[in-house]
Chain A
Amino acid sequence: MTTANPSNVVLDINNLVVGLGRKADAHRIIDDLSLQVHEGETLCLVGESGSGKSVTSLTVMGLQQKGTLVPSGGSVKLVGEELLTATDRRLRQLRATRMAMIFQEPMTALNPVVPVGRQIDEVLRAHTDLDSRARRQKILAMMEHVRLPDVERIFSSYPHRLSGGQRQRIMIAMALVLEPKLLIADEPTTALDVTTQKQILALIRDLQRDHGTAVLFITHDMGVVAEIADRVAVMRHGRLVEAGPLQDVLRNPKMDYTRNLLSSVPSLVPRAPRPETSEPVVLEANELSKVYRERSLYGKAREVAAASNVTLTLRKGRTLGIVGESGSGKSTVARCIVRLIDPTSGGVRLAGREISDLSRRLLQPHRQKIQIIFQDPYRSLNPRVTVGESIAEGPINYGMPRKDALVRARELLELVHLPPDAISRYPHQFSGGQRQRIAIARALALDPDVLVADEAVSALDVSVQAQVLDLLDEIQRRLGIALLFITHDLRVAAQICDDVAVMQRGRVVEQGPAAEVLTNPQQAYTRALLEAAPGRGWDFANFRPVSEGIVATA
């Protein structure tokens, strides 16, 4: 499919420079970037956060923050037409007709107060002379084309009535209704569950094949790259690291950065199982259930079971993973176990003591035995409190003298590989990965028996993710802590868990040793999850498809 025929170049970026502000010596967000996307081709633009991949796409569309992000050099040509010097009016004409874009967050990308059909209709009204009946027919046809069910109903639905996957289909329908030459997809599946992601990726592929669209696909996920790319371009710090056909980049990456990036992708093949232990059980959940009741003054009460009859066992020094898609109840279970919310029924035994029915006050001495780390390190640390105070606050609450607590905070920072002077600094002075280390140090400050990690590495770039996972592993070996690891990412689960429990709609559908559940799943749902994991055919860290690895080791 990749023909370097210069005549069918749709997007041609040459030596693009985008600076932060108008000054000549402004910091360069994009520095001398050149890349081409051809008709019918998917170019995956890969990079970690801050690499400039989103700025590149917004600059092409002319949607970058005016006055802040200023293109100061190079050229961006769409089917031969220069975009950097085009007028606002011309850019508006080109949007949706020649180039269209879909975004990461389908939940927020649609206007909540306008029915989705009308939102697609706006594109047609802005760019065509069709009458309202013709427009409606075209929209309904397009909605069927992106495989939406019951299109008449969805046409007049507001966005909040639709699922994430349905909203992304609406976005795709909106982007492609006028058959643009170029589709820019900025992390379009990152916010979606794997099974939905698989469908959306297939949809983009099919539409591209039918219409010959050029796709600039931005992602941080190597799995997605392996699924959809014809060619790959790797970016870092606003510069192009390397570019080439998919197979070349995955098998023979030329640059160290690309090699590191690929090596950091956790393998779907579970790590070698650790021997079973007869260490004491530190955490047990027995038929744990959480039911939410929505009461209304006059109407009938509604009940939603967020978790039902969840039974889990965790031994000292072991890691138990809870995996599942969004809404499966995995976070609810974690929060019930830590008693951040109160379970409706069932029991939680922590170090042999039943804690599910203790009052807040009686629970207090048990709290320190179980600690939690949250997903988003940018929001889980108080921005106005120094790192040292954040870490020391727990021990001080439990009666440790302030001075000793700060000494302990210093030791913990060392344990999580942060410099001791971090103690007097504030969270905003640290990167995401460093903040998550701080969050881990804070949790460890109370010497817990159990550490609950709720999607603790999901917001991190793969290279940082790998470091944090290593750190958790190291801490577990040194302190013998038990880890309850909640994740939607099967790759991560495969690399850190001894046992896994797969959850769906509030229930545990399959449970057992990670090596068994993830290689020989017994339940259809677990199989579907594994099937949907993007790039499951690739062993990225060894630069080869999984099948070749099996042959090599056989």
Chain B
Amino acid sequence: MLGYLLRRILAAIPVMGVVALFVFLLLRLTPGDPAAILAGDNATPEQLDRIRTSLGLNEPIYIQFYTWVAKLLHGDLGVSLISNKPILEMIGPRLEPSISVALATIILSILVAVPLGVIAAWKHGTWIDRFVMGLSVLGFSVPVFVIGYVLIQVFAIDLRWVPVQGFKSISAGFGPFFERIILPTCTLSFIYVALIARMTRASMLDVLGEDYVRTARAKGIGEAGVLLRHALRNAAVPVITVIGSGFALLISGVVVTESVFNLPGIGRLTVDAVLARDYPVIQAMILLTSGIYVGVNLLIDVAYTLLDPRIRY
């Protein structure tokens, strides 16, 4: 098992290498002089020269790549063109809101969606099944910001149970932290509950038709045992896949929610960087997102081998 983990981590290195190369070339392959792009439209020739020297743009391209990667490995992601701050310092404090909301969303979604999916599959064709599937369609089709604003109106403005927006670090106490992430979490959960419940139901329906489920029933064990011990574990692999890729998307793709709830997360950082053409920040964000993706996929693969003994490692 340990050997397998090590091999998988080793295999992730070339993947990240390709991503790094792509990110590096992104700036170099953009039409025009990178220095001119970085300096903006009204730059003087001296300013351009300074930027070229500071970025090492006068060196041969492989030397540039080497220096860039060497810096990356030392944790130096470069400096923002807009704020002139080191990018690492910009990302650091923004990770907590993003990761907190993403984790909370995934946990809440699994707790709600997996039982819903299991019940829908078990009661296949009945009104319970149709109700769950209807809910799922609703979750897919209502835009995230609509759900967000409705929740704010009801729970923050009318009922005044929680603050309207903002974020407090967990280091400031669990209460303030929790009451500020609960609405964004619920908002995001809608679509993930829809997704995971659907996947669970489809996967369970497949598995419930399998011979070994009939065998389990023939043994005279109760329905709960049949559903949980025999069916769910076999149905889990596709569900885990959806959950994993959902989590990776959540970390970086929740711009709307972050805007609605005024959360200082990395989604907004990315959008701001794109709008301002802050290339070093964009590069860093692409690297970070890819890293998370590769990491989550690694975890999913490990989960597969734990769930299914037939998958060899």
Instruction: Give A contacts to B, CB under 8 Å.
Output: 61, 63, 91-97, 100-101, 103, 105, 108-114, 122-123, 126-127, 158, 160, 171, 174, 297-298
Contacts and interface: CB of A to CB of B under 8 A. Distances in A.
Interface string B110-148: 000000000000000000000000000000000000000
Contact of A108 (B212, B220, B309): B212
Contacts of A171: 215
A111 B220 contact: no
Contacts of A111: 212, 215-216, 230, 234
B221 A92 contact: yes
Q: How large is the interface on B (under 10, 10 to 19, 20 to 34, 35 or more residues)?
A: 20 to 34
A86 to B, nearest CB: 12
Contacts of B212: 108-112
A91 B218 CA distance: 10
Contacts of A100: 218
Given A92-B222, A126-B219, 12 more contacts: A63-B214, A92-B221, A93-B220, A94-B220, A103-B211, A105-B211, A109-B212, A109-B215, A123-B220, A123-B221, A158-B310, A160-B309
21 contacts: A63-B214, A63-B217, A63-B218, A92-B220, A92-B222, A95-B219, A96-B219, A108-B210, A109-B212, A111-B212, A111-B230, A113-B307, A113-B308, A113-B310, A114-B230, A114-B233, A122-B219, A127-B220, A158-B309, A297-B7, A297-B11
A318 to B, nearest CB: 41
Contact of B233 (A109, A113, A298): A113
Interface of B: 7, 11, 210-212, 214-222, 225, 229-230, 233-234, 307-310
Contacts of A97: 220
A162 to B, nearest CB: 12
Contact of A126 (B11, B215, B220): B220
Nearest to B7: A298
By CB atoms of chain A within 10 A, which of B11, B220, B222, B307 has the most?
Answer: B220
B220 A96 contact: yes
A105 B218 CA distance: 15
A91 B214 CA distance: 14
Contacts of B233: 113-114
B218 A112 contact: no
A185 to B, nearest CB: 12
The 10 closest A-B pairs by CB, nearest first: A95-B220, A108-B211, A111-B212, A158-B309, A126-B221, A96-B220, A92-B220, A109-B211, A101-B218, A109-B215
Contacts of A110: 212, 215
A246 to B, nearest CB: 27
Contact of B309 (A91, A93, A103, A113): A113
B9 to A, nearest CB: 13
Nearest to B310: A160
Contacts of B220: 91-97, 123, 126-127
A91 B216 CA distance: 13
Contacts of B307: 113
B53 to A, nearest CB: 43
A103 B310 CA distance: 22
Nearest to B237: A113
B211 A112 contact: no
Contacts of B308: 112-113
B39 to A, nearest CB: 46
Contacts of A160: 309-310
Contacts of A174: 215, 219
Nearest to A115: B309
A112 B221 contact: no
Contacts of B225: 122, 126
Contacts of B309: 112-113, 158, 160
Contacts of B215: 103, 109-111, 171, 174
Nearest to B11: A297
B252 to A, nearest CB: 30
Contacts of B222: 92, 126
A126 B219 CA distance: 8
Contacts of B218: 61, 63, 95-96, 100-101
B209 to A, nearest CB: 10
A182 to B, nearest CB: 12
B214 A103 contact: yes
B210 to A, nearest CB: 7
B81 to A, nearest CB: 41
Contacts of B217: 63, 95
A335 B7 CA distance: 36
A284 B59 CA distance: 67
Contact of A114 (B210, B211, B221, B229): B229
Nearest to B236: A113
A345 to B, nearest CB: 29
By CB atoms of chain A within 10 A, which of B11, B214, B215, B233 has the most?
Answer: B215
Contacts of A123: 219-221
Nearest to A91: B220
A93 B217 CA distance: 11
Nearest to B125: A67
Nearest to B126: A67
A216 to B, nearest CB: 14
Contacts of B214: 63, 103, 109
Contacts of A109: 211-212, 214-215
A142 B219 CA distance: 16
A122 B210 contact: no
A22 B210 CA distance: 25
B150 to A, nearest CB: 39
Contacts of B216: 111, 122
A225 B161 CA distance: 74
B208 to A, nearest CB: 11
Nearest to A158: B309
Contacts of A63: 214, 217-218
B298 to A, nearest CB: 16
A121 to B, nearest CB: 10
B129 to A, nearest CB: 13
B234 A113 contact: yes
A108 B209 CA distance: 11
A122 B215 CA distance: 11
Given A94-B220, A122-B221, A112 B7 contact: no
A111 B210 CA distance: 9
A109 B11 CA distance: 36
A123 B218 CA distance: 10
B127 to A, nearest CB: 14
Nearest to B218: A101
A171 B220 CA distance: 14
